[in-house]
Amino acid sequence: MTTTESPTADDTHARTYADLPALMSLMTGDEKHGPASTSTLDVLWVLYDRVLRVGPELVDDPARDRFLLSKGHGPTAYYAVLAAKGFLPLGLLPGFGTFDSPLGHHPDRTLLPGVEIGSGSLGHGLPLGVGTALGLRARGLTGPRVWVLTGDAELDEGSNHEAIDFAGATGLDTLHTVVVDNASSRYAPPGGVAARFATAGWSTATVDGRDHDALYGAFTAAHPGRPHVVVARVESQDS
């Protein structure tokens, strides 16, 4: 299939990054938040294709990695990646945002397999990520990693900074954050996003948010004893 073909619900061949625009095109409506969604597409693909230990067969496995989409508005890229990886049938995509569709304008963990949190209210994902990492630690599950995807504008919310400081002070090294930085924050931290995390004791990396190899290298960098943040810079101007 090329990116101009329309995928069908019974089309089950293995999908690649090139298929994602066609999958996203199946979802229409005024609430797509297109730029906000497409700014996350490369990050999401690299995570699900090369990094996260997750899959449709592992949605209830205690040893799975946890991915938390804090940047919940404009989730069409997220839904497209989940569909490409077999978490949900392609036939659901055209119903995005309709009354009886599980594909809401914000993801709902009770409606979709593989979705770890319901998101939408900005500033919730990173605190939830801290709590998830602490909960796994308390259960003796040291293998699963927790990943949170947020946007630079979302860091305007104060709850994120409490989470950043706590995770750094406690050496929560199973916690990973990806900040999609499209320069949409009203209150950018002095020195940039990475500097804010670094002052709290995090390991940091800043890369081109469209470069898959650079993203993979940053995602898999060692950071013993410290949480890790990857700032993925993109040019979109939608938060």
Higher pLDDT, 238 or 125: 125
Please state, in angstroms and rounded to a whole number, the distance separating the CA atoms of residues 149 and 176: 9
What is the per-residue pLDDT across 100-128, written as a single tens digit (0 to 9) for each? 999 998 999 999 999 999 987 778 999 99
pLDDT at 32: 57
Please state, in angstroms and rounded to a whole number, the distance separating the CA atoms of residues 47 and 69: 12
Tokens of 210: 């469209």
CA 102 to chain centre: 19
Q: CA angle, 209 as apex, 69 and 23 as ends, to 5°?
A: 60
Q: What is the pTM of this model?
A: 0.90
* Residue 194 reports pLDDT greater than 70: yes
What is the per-residue pLDDT across 41-91, written as a single tens digit (0 to 9) for each? 999 999 999 999 999 999 999 999 999 999 887 799 999 999 999 999 999
Please state, in angstroms and rounded to a whole number, the distance separating the CA atoms of residues 197 and 229: 7
Confidence class of residue 5 from pLDDT cuts 50, 70 and 90?
very low
Confidence class of residue 4 from pLDDT cuts 50, 70 and 90?
very low
Question: Do residues 73 and 36 make contact, with C-beta atoms less than 8 angstroms apart?
Answer: yes
Tokens of 181: 């930085």
Alpha-carbon separation of residue 234 from 80, 112, 184, 231 (angstroms): 19, 28, 11, 10
* pLDDT (mean) for 209-222: 98
Buried b (16+ CB within 10 A) or exposed e, 145-164: bbbbbbbbbbbbbebbbebb
What is the per-residue pLDDT across 8-45, written as a single tens digit (0 to 9) for each? 444 556 799 999 999 999 998 766 566 677 899 999 99
> What rounded mean pLDDT belongs to the chain?
89
139-143 contacts at long range (C-beta below 8 A, 24 or more positions apart): 139/62, 141/62, 141/63, 142/174, 143/63
Q: Which amino acid is at 60?
A: D
Residue 201 backbone class (left: φ over 0; alpha: ψ -120 to 50; beta: rest): left
Please state, in angstroms and rounded to a whole number, the distance separating the CA atoms of residues 178 and 42: 12
> Which class for 21: exposed (0-12), middle (13-18), buried (19 or more C-beta within 10 A)?
middle
